[in-house]
A and B are shown apart, each in its own frame.
Chain A
Amino acid sequence: MNPRRDVDPHEGQGTSHEPTPTIWPVGFAVGVACIFVGLIISKIVLVVGVVIAAIFGILWIRDATRPFRGAEAPSETEAPKPLPPGRMAAHKDGPDPGEGAVVRFPRSKFLEATTLGLGGLIGVIVTAPVLGFTILPPFIKQGHPKIDVGAIDDYPENKFVIATFMLKPEDGEVSRRTAYIRNNGLLGESPSFTVLSNRCVHLGCPVQVNGLPLADETKTEKTATNTVTRIPTAAAAGFGCPCHGGQYDTEGNRTAGPPVRALDRYEFEIVNGRLLLGKTFSVSEVDGTGADAKIHTYPLAGPGQHVDGPEGWLYPVQPPR
């Protein structure tokens, strides 16, 4: 191992053996770059590159050999210009450079700053997209396709039908959803439906009908994009959650247990006599029943999250759905 030398690494900077600063190598480098590019794409670019490299090369050699040729070096005898405060500060604790001496920003400091700065910049450039890729996809392009759950005539009036379907058939069984759909008859001249999500608004377990599913009358229908199963029910008196005992009435209002609001509902529309389900939305409570119900709606919130009252202030912003 070489012995450590206690010498100033900056010693010798600015002494006369160093060549004077010159811009010609930059032009020479551009010329060389043109030569390489020209070799691949075009002879014209090659010739231009040779000319540029030759001109700037000659000028560089001329500049570099000036002391040996006895030519006069560019004058540097003018009084040094006052340095900006930052540059002076770099030498504040160092030795006094003496009057007339050129004060330079230490090279090691410059390298240290550029290494840290560039390292930090590269770190940000590399990390930002990776972090974004990790965090953002759950919030964008979530979408919610419209689900055709059958003709409105398949839903008898004032009875709940259990409809199951796949939200995204390409994802398989994991996207299976269940809705409790009741035909409320006509509201004015338009058909009215109550479409409840089976997701318990306590912690997301599947609520069950407090009644009798008529499994023998199950019908499965293949629609254009989905396979829908419909199970009629008898004497549905509400809904109950098997996980923690939450109870709801037939409008989805909480009647007992830990849920914090009424059951979520699906938006729906009727197109050519068929019932299409859209996005889900949250409901604080429902006044009245059936077609005459007044539904207090809110943007979809997760289970366990209040949507109204002072507790709702805890969830001021919901992720995009």
Chain B
Amino acid sequence: MAKSKPTRVDQVVYLLTYPLNWLEERTSSPGHSGLIGGIKYFLFRKVPGDISWGNTLGSAALTAFIVQAVTGVILAMYYKPDPNSAYESIRHITDDLWAGWLVRGMHRWGASVFIILLFLHMGRVFLYGAYKYPRELNWIIGVLILLLGMLEGFFGYLLPWDQTAYWATVVGVNLQATGPFVGPFLGDVLRGGAEIGPDTLARFYSLHMLVIPGALAALIGLHLWLVVRIGVGSPPWSPLESGPEPGPPPAERKGLVTPAPRGAGVRRR
């Protein structure tokens, strides 16, 4: 068959997708998608047909985390983690800088939104029974994400360095210091000493903007990888097969021997 001459549209599409193809070619291996293919698979993969808006809560929580990360990076450009200037820098961000009140407000209220969405997401997973085999590990990772999210809120609460922040942190750290045996030592490590001081603020700032977000990002990555790897679960009342490549209802394939979905058991999940 003779090759047809590429149209102008083909040429434009080729030029536009050239960078993506370039990237894909250099990140793929025989039989495996590269970066672009992986993203396309992640975005357009098949999911059970009868999932609902409840299944979007995880994505909503991820969006809230991204908002927190972006606004946090911007706030870090203006915030000064020093006892003598922390409160003043917060006031400067809120009152003087253009849209500073908005970005700080997004970060302040977004923190609560993130935690609320995590709880709603967990509630959906729990009620759908989606924490059961083979998704137990993802549930455990989700619980760790929730714990780290709350810890992130605890460390961030001190940063405005006002009376509320100070005394809430005094009480919070002392609560943890009442843990048996290691509690007193944990309290001193958190404070950077026997009492809250300049080191405490810097320590909390480091934990709030580097350590915990880094751990959260890693766990979220793992969480997403497992979601893609195992697939989205159908609602408990669904007749549909779930998994990475959901199959037809069991009734339609009665008597047929179907191969197990990749990386999962054959039973309905």
Residues of A within 8 A of B (CB): 135, 137-139, 142, 167-168, 171-175, 203-205, 243, 300-305, 314-319, 321
> B191 contacts which chain A residues (CB < 8 A)?
138
> A137 contacts which chain B residues (CB < 8 A)?
192-193, 199
Complex-state Cα separation, A314 to B191, whole angstroms = 21
> A205 contacts which chain B residues (CB < 8 A)?
167, 170-171
Give me the 8 closest cross-chain CB pairs, A-B, nearest first: A304-B178, A314-B180, A204-B174, A138-B188, A302-B177, A303-B174, A203-B174, A203-B171
Query: Which of B173, B189, B194, B199 gathers the greatest number of chain A CB atoms within 10 Å?
Result: B194
Complex-state Cα separation, A304 to B194, whole angstroms = 14
The answer on a CB contact under 8 Å between A175 and B181 is no
Closest chain B CB from A227 CB (angstroms): 17
Q: How large is the interface on B (under 10, 10 to 19, 20 to 34, 35 or more residues)?
A: 20 to 34
Closest chain B CB from A58 CB (angstroms): 53
Closest chain A CB from B29 CB (angstroms): 12
The answer on a CB contact under 8 Å between A173 and B188 is no
Closest chain A CB from B58 CB (angstroms): 33
> A243 contacts which chain B residues (CB < 8 A)?
167, 171
Given contacts A135-B189, A203-B175, A204-B171, contact A305 B184 (CB under 8 A): yes
Find residues 201-243 in chain B having any chain A CB closer than 8 Å to their own CB.
Answer: none
Given contacts A304-B174, A315-B184, contact A174 B196 (CB under 8 A): yes
Is B156 in contact with chain A by the CB < 8 A criterion? no
Query: Which of A168, A243, A301, A303 gathers the greatest number of chain B CB atoms within 10 Å?
Result: A303
Complex-state Cα separation, A135 to B180, whole angstroms = 19
The answer on a CB contact under 8 Å between A175 and B197 is yes
> A174 contacts which chain B residues (CB < 8 A)?
83, 196-198
Complex-state Cα separation, A112 to B103, whole angstroms = 52
Measured CB to CB, the nearest residue on chain A to B161 is: A174
8 A–B contacts from the bound complex (CB under 8 Å): A138-B193, A171-B197, A203-B171, A203-B174, A205-B170, A304-B177, A315-B180, A315-B183
Complex-state Cα separation, A203 to B170, whole angstroms = 7
> A316 contacts which chain B residues (CB < 8 A)?
181
Known A-B contacts: A135-B189, A172-B83, A203-B171. Give 7 more (CB < 8 A): A142-B194, A171-B197, A172-B84, A174-B196, A203-B175, A204-B174, A303-B174
Complex-state Cα separation, A302 to B167, whole angstroms = 15
Is B185 in contact with chain A by the CB < 8 A criterion? yes
Complex-state Cα separation, A204 to B171, whole angstroms = 6
> B83 contacts which chain A residues (CB < 8 A)?
171-174
Measured CB to CB, the nearest residue on chain A to B178 is: A304
> A315 contacts which chain B residues (CB < 8 A)?
180-181, 183-184
Complex-state Cα separation, A304 to B198, whole angstroms = 24
Complex-state Cα separation, A15 to B181, whole angstroms = 64
Is B195 in contact with chain A by the CB < 8 A criterion? yes
> A167 contacts which chain B residues (CB < 8 A)?
195
> A135 contacts which chain B residues (CB < 8 A)?
189
Complex-state Cα separation, A316 to B188, whole angstroms = 16
Complex-state Cα separation, A137 to B167, whole angstroms = 23
Is B81 in contact with chain A by the CB < 8 A criterion? no
Partner of A301, one of B170, B173, B184, B199: B184
Partner of A303, one of B177, B192, B199: B177
Complex-state Cα separation, A314 to B181, whole angstroms = 6
Closest chain A CB from B152 CB (angstroms): 19
Is B187 in contact with chain A by the CB < 8 A criterion? yes
Measured CB to CB, the nearest residue on chain B to A202 is: B174
Measured CB to CB, the nearest residue on chain B to A313 is: B180
> B193 contacts which chain A residues (CB < 8 A)?
137-138, 142
Complex-state Cα separation, A317 to B191, whole angstroms = 18
Closest chain B CB from A275 CB (angstroms): 22
The answer on a CB contact under 8 Å between B195 and A139 is no
Complex-state Cα separation, A174 to B202, whole angstroms = 13
The answer on a CB contact under 8 Å between B178 and A302 is yes
The answer on a CB contact under 8 Å between A302 and B189 is no
> A301 contacts which chain B residues (CB < 8 A)?
184
Query: Which of B188, B197, B199 gathers the greatest number of chain A CB atoms within 10 Å?
Result: B188
The answer on a CB contact under 8 Å between A138 and B192 is yes
> A314 contacts which chain B residues (CB < 8 A)?
180-181
Closest chain B CB from A259 CB (angstroms): 12
Complex-state Cα separation, A317 to B185, whole angstroms = 9
Complex-state Cα separation, A168 to B196, whole angstroms = 12
Closest chain A CB from B73 CB (angstroms): 24
Complex-state Cα separation, A137 to B184, whole angstroms = 15
Complex-state Cα separation, A204 to B191, whole angstroms = 13
Given contacts A203-B174, A203-B175, A204-B170, contact A319 B180 (CB under 8 A): no
Closest chain A CB from B205 CB (angstroms): 14
Find residues 143-188 in chain B having any chain A CB closer than 8 Å to their own CB.
Answer: 167, 170-171, 173-175, 177-178, 180-181, 183-185, 187-188
Partner of A302, one of B187, B196, B198: B187
Closest chain A CB from B49 CB (angstroms): 44
